[in-house]
Each structure stands twice: as structure tokens, then as C-alpha cells.
Structure 1
Amino acid sequence: MLEREPTLDELAAIEAEWPQIAAECDLVGAECRLLVDPADVLAKRAHRRAWSSLLLLLVQQANHDAALSAAPVYTLINPSSADPAEAA
């Protein structure tokens, strides 16, 4: 089997994905801490923080991807009538 170095495009793709990779590693680390001691308050806090960071990153990526597309992902036409109780 021939071994080769990654191309510049492959390295760029890895670098672009690195924030998500790091956030997922933090989440796995926090989950491991919870498995060791489910009652540990600091482990619970670390897990919440890691989960929130990953979700925030995923939302930012989705917003960035949506901004690049030609059509909006979702548009609310009339936000005042969004509540069914008020529309009735």
C-alpha cells in the first residue's frame, strides 16, 4: 500500500472542519466525565457547555450555508398571525 501526504485541498477541508471536530471532541470528553460520576455538578456543567457550543457552531454553519444559497430556507410571511389563538 502506498502512503502519501494529504493534498493542499484535503488539508484545507480538514482545517475548515476543525472547529466542529474540536467541539465534538469536547462533547465526548464531557460525556466521559458524566459516565465516571453522573452526580458530578462540574461534569454536568461541562456537558451543557460543550453541547451548547456544538449546537451554536452547527447553527452558525447552517446560517452560513443558507446565506450562500439562492433561495431562503424558511421565510415567515406575516409573523403577527403565527399564533393560532390570535388568528381564530
Structure 2
Amino acid sequence: MDTAPTHSDLAEIEAEWPQIAAEVDLVDAECRLLADPGDVLAKRAHRRALSALLLLLVQQANHDAALRVAPVYTLINPCPAGQAEAA
């Protein structure tokens, strides 16, 4: 059964697009490097593409971590602190 993507599906794809584009750039740089391993510009492009992808992944991880509230632990009580204690 063929169905068109929903608005939700399209929104998810658009949200993932920066990562998809960075991964495509990395694959392109890897292909260029494999075609001519001695090419200095290919090596530089590969390092740049890898760095861009890693930076994006770190930013996404930091963003996701900021959305979750980590429990606060104290030295005396190894259980998560209550709201009043955490403040």
C-alpha cells in the first residue's frame, strides 16, 4: 500500500536534515579520498566533513541532554535529591 508521507513524517525528515546532509558530505569526502589517497585537498575535505558531523552530533547530544533534567545526588545521601534540596 503506497501512502504519501504525513506532515509529521515530513517534519521529522526536516528535523533530521542537517545530520543527513553532514553524513552525505562525509561519504562524498570519503569517496574522493578513496579515489586519490594522496590528494591533499581530499584529505582536508574529509577532515572538515568529519569535524562538521561530529560537531553536529555533539550539539544534538547537548540539546537532548538539556531537555532532560538529570537527578541531583548529594555526597551524604546517594539517592536523588528532592526538589527543595536540589535548588
Computed over aligned residues only, the root mean square deviation of the Cα atoms, in angstroms, reads 0.9
Structure 2 distance, partners of 1:70, 1:45, is 39
The C-alpha deviation readout for 1:12-69, integer Å capped at 9, x for no partner, is 0000000000000000000000110000000000000000000000000000000000
Structure 1 distance, partners of 2:43, 2:62, is 28
Q: Any runs of at least 4 consecutive aligned residues in structure 1 with deviations exceeding 2 A, and if so which?
A: none
Query: Pairwise mapping of residues 1-88 of structure 1 onto structure 2 (< 5 A)?
Result: 2-71=1-70
Query: How high is the TM-score relative to the length of structure 1?
Result: 0.79
Relative contact order (alpha carbons < 8 A, sep ≥ 6): 1 or 2 greater?
1
Kindly, what percent of the aligned residue pairs are identical? 77
Structure 2 distance, partners of 1:28, 1:11, is 24
Query: How high is the TM-score relative to the length of structure 2?
Result: 0.80
Structure 1: gaps of 5 or more residues:
73-88
